[in-house]
Structure formats: C-alpha cells, structure tokens
C-alpha cells in the first residue's frame, strides 16, 4: 500500500494552492475527497507540487526539491499545456515538440532512477475545444501523442485528459467548461479527478 502520492505539474495541478490550502481547489483536492471515501485509500498523504506557468524544463529544474525531497510512493505527472502554447504562438508548428519529448523522457528516467520503488502516472495536456480542426487543438494533439508514446515506452499508465474533455464538449460547449479553453471550472476539475481516480484505483496496490 502506498502512503504518499505526489502531483507534479503546472497551474492545472496547482489549482490555486496556497500555504493555507496546500492541495488547492482543483482536481488534486477533489481527488483527495474521493480517496477519503474508500477505506483502503483514505490514509494516503497527498502532496501538490504544481506551479503556475511551468513547462517540462521547469519540472526538470525543480524535481529534486519538489519531488525527491518528499520521497513519494507514487507520482502523477501532468505537463505540456504551456509547452504546446509556446510552440503554437511561435508560429513554427511543433518547433518545440522535440524539446518537450526529450525533456519529459529525461524527467521520467531521472525520477525512475532516483525513486526506483515508486509508481508513475502520466496525464496528457489538453485544449477544451468545440472544433478538432482548431489550429491550437491540432498542435496539442502532437503533444498528447508524445505523452502516450512515452507511457507505452516506459510502461507507465496514461490518462488521456484530452479525450475526457472531447467527450465533455459533446454534452456542453467548451465555453461552459472553461473561460479560456485551458483552466476548467470546478466541474471540469471534477471530470479530471474522477477519471484519474479510476486510473489510480486500477493500478495502486490495495493491500
């Protein structure tokens, strides 16, 4: 049974966390409440190491203090939205995709070396869009593909959040899930939390 679960990523993971509310008010906090409802999961300590605006290079720079120092038993990594956005606004499609892939691969390898007994999970980036032909959505798909490929390569479970929101916009338009297509309202964070709960429940030891 694991005792500490750490979430490593950007503003979506941070979820407005503060010193007073260290888990924030996003999917990490909601997931903690879901865990509390299951007797075999309720005692797990949650650590939120999300930081607004961060990209994969930032995670590489801070993983010693923000991951290793906590010695977690499992790590959920969600990064890529800011990387894809920078790529998109550069005007050079996928110009940073290789850098993202190299960085995420290095992060996984480093964490696996330094935390040999830990379990790892990957979450894809996403864009909440009504149109799959939207230019930024097309770029984001490339970044999602990198995460899925690395998950397969390293045998790490992957949660496709893009797929979660693609299903969601078939029920309600993108504008009702997020004001900016990126930062979901609480209902959107709940979608992430519920999908992640299912993934973790299927892979975390129950004894």
* CA–CA distances in Å: residue 20 to residues 16, 23, 25, 188: 11, 9, 11, 23
pLDDT single digits (tens) 10-51 = 999 999 999 999 999 999 999 999 999 887 777 899 999 999
Length reported for the chain: 207
Quickly state the pLDDT bin for 207 (edges 50, 70, 90): very low
Confidence (pLDDT) at 139: 93
**What's the farthest any 2 CA atoms get from each other in the chain?**
50
DSSP state letters, 174-198? GGGTBSSSSSB-HHHHHHHHHHHHH
The pTM of this model reads 0.96
* Token pair in block for residue 111: 């964490």
Residues 45, 36 contacting (CB under 8 angstroms): no
92-127 as b/e, with b when 16 or more CB fall inside 10 Å? eeeebbeebbebbbebbebbeeebeebbbbbbbbbb
What does the domain layout of the chain look like in residue ranges? 4-32+39-203
| CATH architecture of structural domain 4-32+39-203 | 3-Layer(aba) Sandwich (3.40)
Residues above pLDDT 90, as percent of the chain = 88
pLDDT tens across 160-191, in order? 999 999 999 999 999 999 999 999 999 999 99
Q: How confident is the model at residue 151 (pLDDT cuts 50, 70, 90)?
A: very high
Single out the residue of 13, 54, 49, 18 nearest to residue 31, CA to CA.
13
């Amino acid at each position: 049974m694991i005792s500490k679960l750490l979430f490593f990523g950007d503003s979506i993971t941070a979820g407005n966390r503060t010193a007073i509310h260290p888990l924030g008010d996003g999917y990490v906090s909601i997931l903690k409440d879901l865990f509390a409802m299951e007797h075999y999961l309720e005692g797990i300590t949650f650590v939120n190491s999300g930081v607004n605006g961060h990209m994969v290079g930032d995670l590489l720079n801070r993983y010693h203090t923000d991951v290793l120092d906590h010695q977690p038993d499992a790590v959920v990594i969600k990064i890529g939205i800011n990387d894809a956005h920078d790529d998109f606004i550069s005007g050079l499609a996928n110009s940073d995709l290789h850098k993202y892939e190299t960085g995420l691969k290095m992060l996984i390898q480093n964490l696996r070396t330094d935390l040999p007994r830990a379990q790892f999970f990957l979450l894809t980036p996403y864009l909440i869009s009504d149109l799959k032909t939207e230019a930024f959505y097309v770029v984001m798909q490339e970044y999602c593909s990198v995460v899925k490929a690395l998950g397969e390569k390293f045998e790490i479970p992957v949660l496709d959040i893009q797929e979660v929101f693609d299903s969601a916009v078939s029920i309600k338009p993108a504008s009702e899930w997020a004001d900016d297509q990126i930062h979901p309202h609480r209902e959107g964070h709940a979608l992430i939390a519920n999908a992640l709960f299912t993934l973790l429940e299927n892979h975390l030891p129950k004894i």
